[in-house]
């Protein structure tokens, strides 16, 4: 792999760790609180450092304010760092809000340098303020950044960039050979509330294997775990991986959504039992997603595991159907016993994959000057007309490609649209919404986009065929096109 010659001065502001956020991420880290975000931030920091950049980290608002505004510094050991020229700043949405409040002399001049770590993503409809105010208000949205300045935990919407994380493998290859698999399952859920109402599900397969958990229990009287569960409490990384390596099945309870856990288990050779959601979970029907700046809906606890990994590593099933559960668990045990399931890790979640992806982003993504000329090479991109009602995300996927929003500008052109519909537009309308450019066949009308901030891979309207920019990708590294390295 070749690294860039560009070495940058980077600021990383961890909004989630600030006292002002009130989130207490650090305090809850060993008590069953969310760890996914901390895993991702640790990997981002390590990646930026290994790539050779100069990284300054802030985890309190006052430190950030001193750094950016050149006030007397709050950094006891880094006095020289005040008023540094900043090439890029990585933060999260709470950090962005803090930054906007604290930065003097106008936030606008910094905005193109921001890279926002945003687990579940921010769709264009929620990002562009004038539109969001009327159609899609969200406490986390309306920041008016370029949608690709938001970096997600999994490759959710191609409107955003995929940051990801590294699936750790602490165990030494030499030690692995000696690890014996036992007839045991590990249940995915490190807080007690995740287990509530799941007794009959767990009961339905408890006779097939020993059931283990890694659950934080504050005091014995809080413990609601079924008596057959061997609870280890929250384990350290290497211990958890050892437990997974000795097990055959990793059992989803339906929450947490889209965490690193299932990828770690699959990387240790377990089969993941992935609860199917019918109807799918979204901001329309689940409190957790209410107010999140995305309309995405999840058809299972872990859509990435379902869609991008699948069988034999992942069984997506209805966990309320005891017969289906038993069949899946029996099949999973048999597949592991027959060595049909081997440890598996997608390249994009390896150390090398993360370094490659972040290095490419840092070298090429430029939201300050390059918005009109995309860095993704032309040869990697094809324009495709979707079916009526289809989003560009799904139209591209159907052709084995990925929606590439940086090319929307180029295809937002009457002549290009006419070439793809194979006729002359009866009428042409310029309009602002997330579905355009598109063709309304019933009226022979061409609908062009008036507001570039509303170009969207995920927008879909039942009656229009969208014109979509679709690019190729590197197998196992879907964030990057084949000529992007």
Among 9, 20, 26, 34, binds ligand U2F (CB under 6 A): 34
| 261 touches ligand U2F (CB under 6 A) | yes
Taking CA atoms, 230 is separated from 191, 204, 254, 283, 328, in Å, by 15, 17, 20, 35, 22
Question: Is residue 260 near ligand U2F by the rule CB under 6 A?
Answer: yes
Peptide bond into 437 cis (omega under 30): yes
**Does 268 sit near ligand U2F (CB under 6 A)?**
no
From 460, 402, 410, 420, select the one nearest 436 (Cα to Cα): 460
Nearest distance, CB of residue 391 and ligand U2F, angstroms: 23
Q: How far is the CB of 81 from ligand U2F (least distance, A)?
A: 30
Map residue 96 onto helix, strand or coil. helix
Q: Output DSSP code: residue 477.
A: B
Indicate the DSSP class of residue 90: E
Which residues within the stretch 138-177 sit at the binding site for ligand U2F (CB under 6 A)? Answer: 153
49 backbone φψ class: left, alpha, beta (φ>0; ψ -120 to 50): alpha
CB of 36 to ligand U2F, least distance (A): 2
DSSP structure string for 140-194: T------GGGEEESS---TTSEE--------S-HHHHTTPPP-SEEEEE-SBGGG
Q: Which of 18, 73, 98, 119 binds ligand U2F (CB under 6 A)?
A: 119
Least distance to ligand U2F from the beta carbon of 261, Å?
Answer: 3
CB of 332 to ligand U2F, least distance (A): 19
Q: In whole angstroms, how close is the CB of 246 to ligand U2F at the nearest point?
A: 14
Among 53, 190, 212, 471, binds ligand U2F (CB under 6 A): 190
Residue number with CB closer to ligand U2F (36 or 343): 36
For ligand U2F, the closer of residues 36 and 312 by Cβ is 36
Span from 70-78, 126-134, 196-204, 257-265 in contact with ligand U2F (CB under 6 A): 257-265
Nearer to ligand U2F, 272 or 361 (CB): 272
- Residue number of the CB atom closest to ligand U2F: 36
- Smallest separation (angstroms) from ligand U2F to the CB of 310: 19
Quickly count: other Cβ atoms within 10 Å of residue 362's Cβ: 21
299 touches ligand U2F by CB under 6 A:
no
Contact between 343 and ligand U2F by CB under 6 A: the answer reads no
- Kindly state the smallest distance separating residue 258's Cβ from ligand U2F, in Å: 6
The minimum distance between CB 226 and ligand U2F, in angstroms, equals 18
CB contact at 8 A, 479 and 162: yes
Token pair listed for 273: 């039992």
Residue 428 CB, shortest distance to ligand U2F, in Å, is 43
Residues with Cβ within 8 Å of residue 321, at least 6 apart in sequence: none
Q: Binding residue for ligand U2F (CB under 6 A) from 12, 17, 39, 55?
A: 39
Site membership for ligand U2F, residue 264 (CB under 6 A): yes
CB of 361 to ligand U2F, least distance (A): 20
**Of residues 67, 65, 17, the one with CA closest to residue 45:** 17
Q: What angle do CA 50, 51, 54 make, to 5 degrees?
A: 90
For residues 403 to 432, the per-residue mask of contacts with ligand U2F, x marking binding by CB under 6 A and - elsewhere, is ------------------------------
- What part of residues 275-294 is at the interface with ligand U2F (CB under 6 A)? none
Q: 93-102 and 61-69 are packed helices; what angle lies between their axes, rounded to 10 degrees?
A: 50
252 near ligand U2F, rule: CB under 6 A: no
Q: Which of 139, 97, 99 is nearest to 122 (CA)?
A: 139
The vertex-58 CA angle with 51 and 22, nearest 5°, equals 130
Contact in structure between 127 and 49 (CB atoms under 8 Å) = no
Q: Does 35 bind ligand U2F (CB under 6 A)?
A: yes
Region near ligand U2F per CB under 6 A, out of 67-75, 199-207, 258-266, 445-453: 258-266
What φ, ψ does residue 216 adopt, rounded to 5°? -80, 120
- Work out which of 121, 259, 275, 405 binds ligand U2F, going by CB under 6 A: 259
User: In 3-state terms, what secondary structure has residue 125?
Assistant: helix
Count CB neighbours of 254 within 10 A. Answer: 20
**Total site size for ligand U2F, rule CB under 6 A:** 20
Task: Between 243 and 417, name the residue whose CB sits nearer to ligand U2F.
Answer: 243
By CB under 6 A, tell whether 225 contacts ligand U2F: no
Taking the C-alpha atoms of residue 87 and residue 167, their distance in angstroms, rounded to an integer, is 28
Other C-beta atoms closer than 10 Å to the C-beta of 400 total 9
Residue entry with tokens 């969310």: 34
Nearer to ligand U2F, 70 or 197 (CB): 197
Q: Would residue 27 be called left, alpha or beta, if left means φ above 0 and alpha means ψ between -120 and 50 degrees?
A: alpha
Q: Toward ligand U2F, which CB reaches closer, 31 or 399?
A: 31
| Contact residues: ligand U2F, CB under 6 A | 34-37, 39, 119, 153, 190, 214, 234-235, 237, 240, 256-261, 264
């Amino acid at each position: 792999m070749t690294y860039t010659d560009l070495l940058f001065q980077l600021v990383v502001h961890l909004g989630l760790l600030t006292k002002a956020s009130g989130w207490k991420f650090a305090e809850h880290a060993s008590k069953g609180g969310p760890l996914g975000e901390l895993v991702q931030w640790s990997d981002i920091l390590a990646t930026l450092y290994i790539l050779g950049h100069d990284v300054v980290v802030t985890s309190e608002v006052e430190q950030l304010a001193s750094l950016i505004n050149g006030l007397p510094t709050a950094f006891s050991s880094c006095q020289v760092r005040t008023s540094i020229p900043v090439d890029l700043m990585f933060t999260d949405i709470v950090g962005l809000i803090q930054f906007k409040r604290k930065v003097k002399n106008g936030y606008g001049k910094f905005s193109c340098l921001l890279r926002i770590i945003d687990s579940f993503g921010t769709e264009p409809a929620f990002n562009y303020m004038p539109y969001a105010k009327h159609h899609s208000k969200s406490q986390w949205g309306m920041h008016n950044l370029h949608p690709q300045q938001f970096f997600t935990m999994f490759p959710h919407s191609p409107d955003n960039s995929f940051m990801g994380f590294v699936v750790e493998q602490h165990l030494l290859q030499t030690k692995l050979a000696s690890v014996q698999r036992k007839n045991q399952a590990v249940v995915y859920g490190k807080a007690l509330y995740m287990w509530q109402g799941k007794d009959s599900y767990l009961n339905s397969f408890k006779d097939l294997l020993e059931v283990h958990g890694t659950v934080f229990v504050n005091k014995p009287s809080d413990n609601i775990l079924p008596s057959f569960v061997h609870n280890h409490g929250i384990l350290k990384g290497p211990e958890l991986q050892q437990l997974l390596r000795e097990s055959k099945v990793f059992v989803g309870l339906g929450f947490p959504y889209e965490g690193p856990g299932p990828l770690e288990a699959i990387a240790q050779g377990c089969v993941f039992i992935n609860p199917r959601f019918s109807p799918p979970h979204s901001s329309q029907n689940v409190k957790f997603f209410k107010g999140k700046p995305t309309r995405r809906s999840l058809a299972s606890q872990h859509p990435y595991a379902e869609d991008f990994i699948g069988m034999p590593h992942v069984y997506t099933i209805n966990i309320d159907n005891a017969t289906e559960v038993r069949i899946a668990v029996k099949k999973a045990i048999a597949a592991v016993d027959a060595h049909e399931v081997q440890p598996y890790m997608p390249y994009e979640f390896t150390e090398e994959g993360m370094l490659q992806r972040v290095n490419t982003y840092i070298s090429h993504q430029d939201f300050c000057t390059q918005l009109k000329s995309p860095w993704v090479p032309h040869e990697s991109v094809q324009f495709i007309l979707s079916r009526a009602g289809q989003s560009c995300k799904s139209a591209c996927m159907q052709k084995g490609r990925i929606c590439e929003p940086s090319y929307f500008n180029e295809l937002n052109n009457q002549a290009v649209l006419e070439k793809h519909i194979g006729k002359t537009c009866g009428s042409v309308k310029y309009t602002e919404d997330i579905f355009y450019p598109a063709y309304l066949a019933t009226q022979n009308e061409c609908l062009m986009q008036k507001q570039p901030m509303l170009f969207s891979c995920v927008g879909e309207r039942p009656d229009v065929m969208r014109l979509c920019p679709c690019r190729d990708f590197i197998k196992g590294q879907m964030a990057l096109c084949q000529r992007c390295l």
